[in-house]
Amino acid sequence: MRSALDIAQSVRAGGSARAAVEATVAAVAARNEELNVFLHVDAEAALAEADAIDARVTAGEDPGILAGVPVAIKDNICQTGVPTTCSSKILDGWRPPYNATVIDRLRAAGAIPFGKTNLDEFAMGSSTENSAFGPTRNPLDPSRVPGGSSGGSAAAVAANMTPLSLGSDTGGSIRQPAALCGLVGVKPTYGLVSRYGLIAFASSLDQIGPFAHSVTDAALLLEAISGHDPLDSTSLPEPAPSLVAHVNDGVAGKRVAWVRELVEGADESVVASVEKAREALRDAGATIVELSIPELRLGLSAYYLIAPAEASSNLARYDGVRFGQRVDGEDVTAMMEATRTAGFGAEVKRRIMLGTYALSAGYFDAYYGQALKVRTLMIEAFSRAYGEADMLLGATTPSVAFEFGSKTKDPMAMYLSDVFTIPTNLAGDAAISVPVGTGEAGLPIGVQLLGPGRSEASLFAAARVLEKAEGRS
């Protein structure tokens, strides 16, 4: 599939947005039944948007930096009148009456939101096996998972259905599937992208970000959706950063820290890919240092108290009264219990119970309060590390894509898939995963670059160095 940059440049110069959408429609028709990527597609609506863009170009207008580019949307991002389910039975058939801010910004840039992609229910999972509508398969090896929770969004790009997609990252849900599908995936600084219209999992952690085949395409999409939004009280009060202009800045003079805790426990092939990335950055002029950040080992434990606690609160609104599915009962209490029992899957119930317990009287200080203290320790540790280095280097995931069912009976094994990505979410900083090397069965490996808040331009430049070192122009 053509790059997003190529499609947009062509359309702005008089090419056909309709042709770009038709290519996506054909690609989805060819593999969606096999891979279960899209839960909803309205091809006619997308073609109508493409025709409108072509008409604007004919009239002498410039539709924007993503003119005519189809973008797949994770099904926890609201779009007016389009089914938005979070891959949960409790929201089956619900059509939001409003757009998420990122949808409006995509259209303002000339992009065409195309379909809603599968995910782990309410974004809780690392394999997209928790979807109420069946798992998504990895396009590179359909016997394996695409990662999660944004597995559908990753698979849409990896299968060349769309050149770009949007996911959300709460504990690694963009970077982990990007690594397992051989893509570039970005977790932006918390507050850089509006969360308005993103159905909440854990509000202090969630962040929308891009999937793409290339660093430049990812930068293009992030630039289009970033910037202050008065509808999101946590939105950073500043305009979208310039990113595409800096992707070829290189790393000369930058200090890059190889972090021991970001490779501990990873497969040998993953460690080798991180070493390969370290040498490529050194060859490009970066100064490599080695750091140990022991606090990162606490990330998984803190996350699985903070995130479920916030989920317990956020998911309380699904009560069978205001919207979504309803199962009748003898009284209100019985109705709510029946609705939530039938509507939520096992993993969502597990996290709601864990979070409710952590917030309950007598346990709040021992669990949730303690986790918040650990989070502060991690933020301070990251701050010290960024005093010694401009960015950090490590693995994105401990292994390549794993086989279906191999971790579903052991929640802790599944949770460990995000052990390297979670710390960045707790700190609210920026990170990017970029493919470097291959492992078992020739499957791709993702290497992670981490930076302080608002360091996206530098991270894209470093990721571009790795991309070129891999021969991916």
Catalytic residues: 74, 149, 173
DSSP state of 98: S
* Token pair 């590390």 in the structure block, residue: 385
Helix, strand, or coil (residue 177): helix
DSSP state of 387: H
Q: Exposure of 110 by Cβ count < 10 A (0-12 exposed, 13-18 middle, 19+ buried)?
A: buried
Distance CA 49, CA 55 (A): 10
Distance CA 274, CA 270 (A): 6
Contacts of 20 (CB under 8 A, 6+ apart): 2, 7, 11, 50, 68, 69, 70, 112
Residue 425: C-alpha distances to residues 168, 186, 191, 270, 419 (Å): 11, 12, 12, 22, 11
Element (H, E) at 289: strand 287-291
DSSP state of 369: I
Distance CA 335, CA 242 (A): 51
Residue 177: C-alpha distances to residues 119, 140, 171, 262, 267 (Å): 11, 12, 12, 17, 17
Nearest to 337, CA basis, from 319, 322, 353, 321: 319
Q: Exposure of 72 by Cβ count < 10 A (0-12 exposed, 13-18 middle, 19+ buried)?
A: buried
